[in-house]
Amino acid sequence: MINKKIEDAINDQINAELHSAYIYLSMASWFDSMNLKGMSHWMNIQAKEEVEHAMKFADFVMERGGRVLYKAVAAPETEWASPLEAFRGAYEHEKYVTRRINDLMDLAVAEKDYASQVLLHWFISEQVEEEANASEIVGKLEMMADGKHGLLMIDRELGGREDD
C-alpha cells in the first residue's frame, strides 16, 4: 500500500508531466506555424514521452493500491521569440523537472519507501537524457547564430526523430 504523502506527491508529479506534454504540444504548434515541420515533429514526440511518464507514475500508484487524481493542467505559453528561445525554454523546463524528481526521491528516502525509490531511479536516469537532448539542440542553435541555412538543416535533422 502506498503512503498518503507519496501518493499526493506522485499525483502532483503526474500533473507536472502532463503540463510538460502541454508545453511541448504548444511548442509543436508554434513550430508548425513557423513552417519548421521537423522541430514540430520533435516536440510532438517529446509530448508523447511526457504522457508516457505521467502514465508510468499513474500505473505505479494504482498498482500499489493508491488513487490517481487528475488535476487541471495549466495553459502553456503560446509564443517564443525564436526557435532558440523555445528550445532554451524546453531545457530550462527539463532542469525544473529534474529538481522535482530529486525532491520526490528525497521524500521516498525520508519515508523509507523502497518501491518508489526504484521507480524514481528510472526517472533520474531519464532526466539525464532529457536534459542532454534539449541542451544539445540549444547548443546547435546557438552555434548557427541566425543563419537560416543552419536552421533548416537542424529542422531536417529533428524531423528524423523516431518514437522510442
Half-sphere exposure of 75 (CA within 13 A, CB side): 3
Phi first, then psi: give them for residue 20, nearest 5 degrees.
-60, -45
Using CB under 6 A, which of 97, 107, 120, 154 touches ligand FEO?
97
Residues in the chain: 164
Main-chain dihedrals φ then ψ at residue 3, nearest 5 degrees: -85, 155
Provide, rounded to whole angstroms, the least separation between the CB of residue 35 and ligand FEO. 25
Tell me whether residue 7 or residue 17 sits nearer to ligand FEO (CB atom). Answer: 17
130 binds ligand FEO, rule: CB under 6 A: yes
DSSP for 143-157, please give it. Answer: HHTT-HHHHHHHHHH
Can you say whether the dihedral through the CA atoms of 128, 13, 106, 90 is positive or negative? positive
Q: Yes or no: say if 138 and 91 are a contact pair by the CB < 8 Å rule.
A: yes
Residues from 52 through 91 that contact ligand FEO (CB under 6 A): 53
Residue 94 touches ligand FEO, criterion: CB under 6 A: yes
Name which position in 11, 20, 26, 40 contacts ligand FEO (CB under 6 A): 20
Spatial CA neighbour of 101 closest among 74, 88, 119: 119
Among 17, 27, 137, 154, binds ligand FEO (CB under 6 A): 17
Shortest separation between residue 122's beta carbon and ligand FEO, angstroms: 11
50 binds ligand FEO (CB under 6 A): yes
Other C-beta atoms lying within 10 Å of the C-beta of residue 15: 18
Residue nearest ligand FEO, Cβ-based = 53
Number of residues that bind ligand FEO (CB under 6 A): 7
Query: What are the residues binding ligand FEO (CB under 6 A)?
Result: 17, 20, 50, 53, 94, 97, 130
